[in-house]
Amino acid sequence: MKPKTIYLALCFIGVGLPYWQFLPWVMQHGMNLTLFAHELFANRVSAFFGMDVFASAAVLVVFMRIESSRLKIRGRWIPLVALIAVGVSLGLPLFLYMRELAVEKVGSFERPQPSV
């Protein structure tokens, strides 16, 4: 299976799993961002995961900026919107999908062969 296909499938998983938990919360509490932040940082374990996601999002933004400039990826704002609307779980595979499209178009990017 091509990486492009895998990344596209991961986009669907990246939307489905987080929103499976988020939508019932929104239906119960509305878009109460203060309560959301309070519950996200309710204890050290949940704060650990929250901070990990924030750090991952920052790294992803830097990676997207560098790679999209290097490969001249068009529509590079789309994964940024996905990152804000859903999170890293959609932003990363969407960007990787777009990156694969750009690599196919350019054709000059040499992919290292896996070692056996």
Q: Residue 54's closest CA among 98, 15, 87?
A: 87
Contacts with 91 (C-beta within 8 Å, 6 or more apart), sequence order = 14, 57, 60, 64, 79, 80, 82, 83
pLDDT, position 113: 59
User: What is the DSSP secondary structure assignment for residue 109, as one 8-state letter?
Assistant: P
**pLDDT tens-place values along the chain, 116 residues long:** 999 999 999 999 999 999 999 999 999 999 999 999 999 999 999 999 999 999 999 999 999 999 999 999 999 999 999 999 999 999 999 999 999 999 988 775 555 556 66
- b/e for 45-71, b at 16 or more Cβ within 10 A? eeeeeeeeeeebeeebeeebeebbeeb
